[in-house]
């Protein structure tokens, strides 16, 4: 399945790889096309400049004579031109001044008399000639290829006598050879561009989406094994970006999920264990009654009383489990609750004074004005009742409980101290675990199910508070609660 996903054409990596490949190729194509066009344009302009310069040189050379051009004297004139131009540093090949390798370069020199009849032609040319006055230079198509044709009238030194005409045709042979050569390798260059575009496109996509693929693979692995400890690897020293933040958030989410799954598993195991005993007791009494106990009033009364007691215990356990489940969702359902802390603590204090007159319960209130906390009132009362119930249950001969209320660093603190049996360091580390009871020999009637402190911890943490314990074995215990209170300015605005 993983291999199937790796080459999946619908994968975002392959889609982006294809898009990047097209983008890189188009960029490469347009860049190389623009570059090639610039090269061709520069070559064309250079050829045009050379042609004009050459044509001007030929015209000026022919204008140095003062005799009409005829078929009999044109050869000698050309020979004269070659001698005169050599002194100017112009190259000479086959007695043709300046026009080096005319045939190989596709340059044709033609000379005409005053009537327009051809007197001289350096090589055969199919171009037409029309008598024109003055200088001209133009572009024409010869055999479907660009060419330059230029010429001029030849006047005597006095510029009043027409001696003939000269015409030069530039077929741009070298230019077209270079263009053909470039076009051939331009096509090969595009093939190379395709290969490079694929490498860069898909390589970039694979590199860019590698963290996302790692996230997906990690999530798939966790889907197969919910308790897997596999997490997204985050390289040390890597710059923090959106993908790094997302990886951290996913890892935190998976840690929470693993924690919840572990809790759920432990919760089910503990509940199953807790329900097994009362269920077995009820079942035993019912079987006893079914066999012979229903005819014995004493056995009947004892069995019914024991069964009802166990059912009551199971009912209490189920209610506590529901309370614990709701405690995990306080952030969702009770976000905007406000509760006066002094009022609630004072109320619970008076209630326990009334319920347990044999206890000496003291309240030390060290807050000048009422403070409001973002807690549902019933939940705060439930936490205080749980802690005070434990203080009563675990007190020994010294039946004394101290409640203190104070504030510090934008938090209110409630401390509940008893002078009972206390607990060991080992017990203090586990006291907030579900179904944990310090004294395993203590009866469930007096010791409870071990869910009270777990419920209190879940509730307080749900409201961004915390609970801690300090205890000395044989001397008593102090539970401390801290909750952030709502600032006075915020309260007045509301």
Whether 309 and 377 map to the same domain: the answer is no
Domain end point (choices 181, 197, 217):
181
Residue 446's H or E segment, with its range, is: helix 444-447
The residue ranges of the chain whose pLDDT is under 70 are 1-10, 76-102, 157-159, 226-228, 232, 235-241, 263, 266-267, 270-271, 273-274, 277, 293-294, 320-321, 323-332, 439-449, 488-494
Locate 395 and state its tokens: 């007190």
Whether 167 and 20 map to the same domain: the answer is yes
Whether 172 and 43 map to the same domain: the answer is yes
Looking up residue 40, the CATH number of its domain turns out to be: 3.30.450
Domain coverage including residue 319: 242-326
Looking up residue 318, the CATH number of its domain turns out to be: 1.10.287.130
Whether 421 and 481 map to the same domain: the answer is yes
Return d(Cα 296, Cα 416) in angstroms, integer. 50
Whether 288 and 338 map to the same domain: the answer is no
Buried b (16+ CB within 10 A) or exposed e, 82-104: beebeeeebeeeeebbbbeebee
Asked whether the beta carbons of 358 and 399 are under 8 A apart, the reply is yes
Whether 41 and 161 map to the same domain: the answer is yes
Whether 478 and 368 map to the same domain: the answer is yes
Residue 201 placed within a domain: no
pLDDT of residue 85: 42
pLDDT of residue 3: 43
Q: Kindly report, residue by residue over 56-113, the tens digit of the pLDDT.
A: 888 877 777 777 877 777 776 666 554 444 434 444 444 444 445 567 778 888 888 8
What's the structural domain count of the chain?
3
Buried b (16+ CB within 10 A) or exposed e, 327-357: beebeeebeebebebeebbeebbeebeeebe
- Can you name the residues that pair with 360 across neighbouring β-strands? 400
pLDDT of residue 238: 56
Whether 159 and 28 map to the same domain: the answer is yes
Q: Kindly report, residue by residue over 332-353, the tens digit of the pLDDT.
A: 677 778 899 999 999 999 999 9
pLDDT of residue 320: 66
Domain end point (choices 309, 326, 343):
326
DSSP code for 485: B
Residue 156 placed within a domain: yes
Residue 225 placed within a domain: no
Whether 114 and 28 map to the same domain: the answer is yes
Residue 194 placed within a domain: no
pTM for this model (two decimals):
0.48
pLDDT of residue 259: 72
Whether 24 and 170 map to the same domain: the answer is yes
- Can you name the residues that pair with 468 across neighbouring β-strands? 480
Residue 37 placed within a domain: yes
Whether 287 and 357 map to the same domain: the answer is no
pLDDT of residue 113: 86
Whether 314 and 446 map to the same domain: the answer is no
Residue 189 placed within a domain: no
DSSP code for 463: T
Looking up residue 392, the CATH number of its domain turns out to be: 3.30.565.10
pLDDT of residue 467: 94
Return d(Cα 367, Cα 412) in angstroms, integer. 9
pLDDT of residue 471: 93
């Amino acid at each position: 399945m993983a291999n199937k996903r790796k080459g999946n054409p619908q994968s975002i990596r392959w889609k982006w790889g294809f898009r990047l490949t097209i983008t890189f190729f188009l960029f490469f194509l347009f860049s190389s096309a623009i570059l090639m066009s610039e090269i061709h344009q520069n070559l064309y302009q250079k050829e045009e400049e050379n042609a004009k310069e050459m044509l001007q040189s030929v015209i000026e050379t022919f204008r140095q004579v003062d005799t009409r051009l005829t078929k009999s004297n044109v050869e000698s004139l050309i020979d004269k031109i070659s001698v005169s131009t050599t002194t100017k540093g112009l190259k000479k090949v086959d007695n043709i001044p300046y026009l080096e390798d005319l045939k190989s370069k596709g340059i044709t020199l033609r000379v005409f008399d005053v009537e327009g009849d051809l007197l001289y032609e350096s090589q055969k040319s199919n171009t037409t000639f029309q008598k024109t006055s003055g200088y001209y230079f133009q572009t024409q198509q010869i055999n479907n290829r660009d060419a330059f044709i230029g010429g001029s009238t030849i006047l005597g030194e006095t510029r009043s006598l027409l001696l003939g005409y000269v015409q030069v045709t530039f077929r741009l042979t070298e230019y077209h050879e270079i263009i053909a050569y470039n076009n051939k390798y331009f096509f090969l260059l595009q093939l190379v561009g395709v290969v490079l575009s694929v490498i860069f496109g898909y390589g970039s996509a694979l590199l860019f989406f590698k963290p996302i693929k790692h996230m997906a693979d990690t999530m798939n692995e966790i889907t197969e094994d919910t308790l897997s400890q596999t997490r997204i690897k985050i390289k040390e020293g890597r710059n923090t970006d959106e993908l790094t933040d997302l990886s951290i958030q996913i890892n935190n989410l998976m840690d929470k999920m693993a924690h919840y799954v572990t809790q759920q598993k432990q919760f089910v195991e503990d509940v199953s264990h807790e329900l097994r005993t009362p269920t077995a007791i009820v079942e035993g009494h019912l079987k006893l009654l079914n066999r012979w106990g229903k005819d014995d009033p004493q056995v009947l009364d004892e069995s019914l009383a024991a069964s009802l007691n166990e059912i009551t215990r199971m009912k209490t356990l189920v209610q506590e489990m529901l309370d614990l489940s709701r405690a995990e969702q306080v952030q969702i359902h009770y976000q905007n609750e406000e509760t006066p802390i002094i009022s609630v603590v004072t109320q619970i204090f008076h209630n326990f004074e009334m319920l347990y007159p044999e206890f000496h319960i003291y309240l030390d209130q060290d807050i000048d004005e009422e403070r409001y906390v973002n807690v549902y009132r019933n939940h705060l009362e439930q936490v205080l009742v749980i802690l005070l119930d434990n203080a009563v249950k675990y007190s020994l001969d010294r039946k004394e409980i101290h409640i203190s209320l104070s504030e510090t660093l934008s938090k209110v603190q409630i401390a509940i101290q008893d002078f009972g049996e206390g607990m060991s360091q080992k017990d203090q580390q586990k006291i907030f675990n579900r179904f944990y009871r310090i004294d395993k020999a203590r009866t469930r009637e007096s010791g409870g199910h071990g869910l009270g402190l777990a419920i209190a911890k879940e509730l307080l943490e749900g409201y961004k508070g915390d609970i801690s314990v300090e205890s000395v074995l044989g001397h008593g215990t102090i539970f401390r609660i801290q909750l952030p209170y709502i600032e006075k300015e915020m309260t007045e605005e509301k």
